[in-house]
Chain A
Amino acid sequence: MVFSSLTFLFVFLPIVISIYFAAPSKFKNLVLFISSLIFYAWGEPVYILLMIFSTIVDYINGILVDKYSHDKNKSKKFVIISVIINLSLLCIFKYADFIILTINGFIGTDIPLLKLPLPIGISFYTFQTMSYTIDVYRKEAPVQRNIISLGAYVSLFPQLIAGPIVRYQTIAEQINTRKETLDKFGEGVSRFLIGLGKKVLIANNIGMLWNIIQSSSINNLSVLSLWFGISAFSLQIYFDFSGYSDMAIGLGKMFGFDFLENFNYPYISQSITEFWRRWHISLGSWFKDYVYIPLGGNKKGKFKTYRNLFIVWFLTGLWHGASWNFVIWGLYFGVIITLEKIFLINILKKAPKFFRHLYTTLILFISWVFFNFEEMSEGIEYLKGMFGFKELPIIDVNFLYYLTNYAVVFIVGIICATPIAKKFIKNKTIYALILFVIYFLSIAYLVDSSFNPFLYFRF
């Protein structure tokens, strides 16, 4: 199930909220666990077994890691087992065909593909469950002896399918004791509605433009249409993804949880380094804490620092999808961030602010082209078109049509991607009014939803 659906809003959520708040404290985690399993099973019922398997494996490993906490060697073994099992799940369900294709391509074998449907959100929850045993091992969080409570964490439906990646240490305490208040519920509602509006009103609508451009043959487009198209995608992916995070954080609050923030106006960044501190924060900090630093971070000399950066960005790319273009996309960022570290940042500091924004935006547009085309050659054609290497017309009447047809949503998108709007709305009543106008319009758009894609399906 996805949040941006009428079934979620008007069937699932009211039922879950009613039961949750009617249930006594000690059953609240059970309610969350069961409803999360139903939420997950909704699209692919069979994969409910996967979720239960994950829960049991991590439960046992957690207990064993804790039991042998005095014996580093033994407890380390169980962490490794847990990581291997989790990564195997991820590899089998997400990367098997990619690995087979790569092997077939390199040595000319003909191993048949598995073609397993991708369990929704598997990249998110395997990372979360890994964080559990690792945190217990590092004594950054206490072991969870109640399997229901651990199950509620593993399957917690607000962040199950599209993050943020909530690490166990963040909510270890909240899982056992948390306080739901009307005040917090309201805070959650307003966060949820903002996310819903981002997804349904902005991302879906601007996404239609990208959909048109992407499905046209490049030779029939003009240079400006290509630029307009990729900027539309930049907005779409931000509002889609951060909208989901907002909805997740909001839902969490309704049930008394506090998740960490996942986005912080990434498009106002003045460098790529800054962008990655503001974009998908939970993923960046996961890789930092569980990969980069354990590998030695930047403390073990130049060579190892670069090696570690390479590994982290390779994995960041691969995490986004089982295809080489995502790896290129990740490494591209790795290279730019390294260059920024070495000298670019110093140059940028001297440049005017306008130039820093221009630089960052340009780098990001190019990255989204890599991100979009699984077939690398298509992405390169698109870039060639953008930069005038394909003898396309600069401008054509279709561009003017797209521009005028999407101008309003495009401008609204740009404004909402910056903190400007927040600054202007100071009056509480107006704020509440805007929230419910967003709610109202989102319902209208969901009732007549011809276009409601889910970008994070392959994550």
Chain B
Amino acid sequence: MKSKCNKQIAVIFIISTILLSLLNIIVTDKEFSELENRYLQKKPSLTYKKLLSGEFSEDFEKYITDQFPLRNWWIKIKSDVERAVLKKDNNGIYFGKDGYLFEMYNKPEKTFYKNIEYINSFIDKTNINVSIMAVPNSFQIYSEKLPLFANPYDQAKVLNDLKNNLVSEAGFIDLIGVLQDKKDEYIYFKTDHHWTMLGAYYGYLEYCKVNNIEAVSLEEFQIIEKSNEFYGTYYSKANGTRVKPDKLEILELIKSKYSYLVNYIYEDEQSDNFYDDEYLSKKDKYSYFFGGNHSLITIKTTNKNGKKLLVIKDSYANAMIPLLANNFEEIHVVDLRYYKYNIYDYIKENNINEGLVLYNISNFNNDTGLAILNYY
């Protein structure tokens, strides 16, 4: 096995290594990776200070890895090998059946119980009617599509825990059963961590039922496809796995009833609809709803029924608020990750009379923004 082959091995190694090194120099740097949905490391500037602190070498290594020639191709090779050796997850994402990607969800920790306290203090400090809606993740609804023996923590238990720890169960809305009944429909994205607008519609329906509101029926909407090449966050995390893209669809009223004025308060922008076309050509197509998350959005409608709703939420609400807009005169949408003012003053000043706390369960487990509810 020894001797004769060595020269050939030496020559092949030298040639292939030098070729790749040269390619590395020649290929122009990319700024953004669509595949991974992140900015790639740029060539670091060499300064005396950065060199001494070791920051330069760290950035340089990242730069070489990020800008490696044919990066996406290599990533796909790795992903194919992982499939070939029967790996069932990567980077916290399960490879489910039928092209589904799922989150490896763990038992909630301290932050979850803290957040329940914050919600309780919110309910105590306001005298408005508050609904609590914690939306399950896709794995909970499509558990039969999980890989063999995959065992994410049961969100039904989490919801039970949430319900039992709330000061009043009155406003608690459990969606697991509702969504399970509709699982044959396209209610969750396969490659993204959000629900679809259709999924959000069933959430909306349940919200209306619990609060004795007359919901707009599904027949009054038409489904419009906005994009058929949506690769979501699960896809980005799992890196290069071969699955089909999602479709981004919205529900639009066939005959519109009211007109809306959407006000992005801190961006000082206004719009007459809920969508941002710019995001249809970007990677993160879920941000088509309201152009992503904002600290405060107000929606004023021509439905003069005097009902004013405050929504405390994460991005799951973005797909549902366009539907809620048909039943309220005003909706105030607050994202506590960015909004840091006194919410109780805000409620009084704007004569708000309804409240909805809408979070995805997994987000709710980890979000630290809710602490602000206890602050004032």
- Chain A positions within 8 Å of B, measured between CB atoms, are 1, 5-7, 9-11, 13-14, 17, 42-46, 182-187, 189-190, 193, 220, 397-398, 400-401, 404-405, 407-409, 425-426, 428-429, 431-432, 435-436, 439-441, 443-450
Contacts and interface: CB of A to CB of B under 8 A. Distances in A.
A401 B150 contact: yes
B9 A448 contact: no
A448 B75 contact: yes
A445 B78 contact: yes
B315 to A, nearest CB: 24
Nearest to A441: B81
B6 A187 contact: yes
Contacts of A44: 54
A254 B150 CA distance: 46
B242 to A, nearest CB: 15
B342 interface: no
Contact of B75 (A1, A436, A447): A447
Interface residues of B, number: 51
B218 interface: no
A444 B68 CA distance: 10
Interface of B: 1-14, 16-18, 20-21, 24, 51-54, 57, 60-61, 64-65, 68, 71, 74-75, 77-79, 81, 85-89, 91, 107, 147-151, 239-240
A185 B10 contact: yes
B21 A187 contact: no
B95 to A, nearest CB: 10
A409 B85 contact: yes
17 contacts: A7-B65, A10-B20, A10-B24, A42-B57, A182-B10, A183-B6, A186-B13, A187-B6, A407-B86, A408-B86, A432-B9, A441-B77, A444-B77, A447-B68, A447-B71, A448-B78, A449-B65
A443 B76 CA distance: 12
A263 B147 CA distance: 38
A404 B148 contact: yes
Nearest to B240: A448
Contacts of B91: 450
Contacts of A17: 14
Given A45-B53, A441-B81, 13 more contacts: A11-B64, A13-B17, A45-B57, A189-B6, A189-B9, A193-B13, A426-B1, A428-B1, A432-B8, A436-B12, A439-B13, A444-B75, A448-B240
**Secondary structure class of chain B's binding surface, majority of residues:** helix
A441 to B, nearest CB: 6
Nearest to B17: A14
B329 to A, nearest CB: 49
A405 B54 contact: no
A397 B149 contact: yes
A11 B87 contact: no
B10 A431 contact: no
B371 to A, nearest CB: 25
Contacts of A398: 149, 151
Given A6-B64, A11-B21, A432 B239 contact: no
B157 to A, nearest CB: 14
B54 A397 contact: no
Nearest to A185: B10
A408 B88 CA distance: 12
Contact of B74 (A182, A187, A409, A443): A443
Nearest to A429: B5
Interface centre among A42, A187, A193, A444 (most CB of B within 10 A): A444
B88 A405 contact: yes
B149 A401 contact: yes
Nearest to A188: B10
Contact of B5 (A42, A400, A408, A428): A428
A367 to B, nearest CB: 29
Contact of A435 (B9, B20, B85, B86): B9
The 10 tightest CB contacts between A and B, nearest first, are A186-B6, A186-B10, A401-B149, A447-B74, A408-B85, A400-B149, A428-B5, A444-B77, A186-B9, A444-B78
A298 to B, nearest CB: 38
Contacts of A7: 60-61, 64-65
Contacts of A447: 65, 68, 71, 74-75, 78
Given A11-B21, A448-B239, A405 B78 contact: no
A222 B344 CA distance: 48
A219 B183 CA distance: 35
Given A398-B151, A432-B9, A444 B81 contact: yes
B115 to A, nearest CB: 21
B87 A405 contact: yes
Contacts of A185: 6, 10
B1 A397 contact: no
A401 B71 contact: no
Given A7-B64, A187-B6, A432-B12, A43 B57 contact: yes
A189 B77 CA distance: 23
B122 to A, nearest CB: 31
Contacts of A14: 17-18, 21
A408 B86 CA distance: 7
B239 A405 contact: no
A439 B77 CA distance: 13
A6 B65 contact: yes
Nearest to B68: A447
Contacts of A405: 86-89
A230 B54 CA distance: 34
A401 B95 CA distance: 13
Contacts of B14: 17
Nearest to B8: A432
B96 to A, nearest CB: 13
Contact of A428 (B4, B24, B71): B4
A409 B60 CA distance: 31
Contacts of A5: 61, 64-65
B225 to A, nearest CB: 32
A333 to B, nearest CB: 34
A435 B10 CA distance: 11
Given A5-B61, A14-B21, A448-B239, A45 B74 contact: no
B71 to A, nearest CB: 6
B26 to A, nearest CB: 13
A406 to B, nearest CB: 8
A222 to B, nearest CB: 11
Contacts of B147: 401
Contacts of A436: 12, 16
A397 B151 contact: yes
Contacts of B9: 186, 189-190, 432, 435
B47 to A, nearest CB: 13
B10 A189 contact: yes
A404 B88 contact: yes
A432 B148 contact: no
Given A10-B24, A398-B151, A401-B88, A444 B64 contact: no
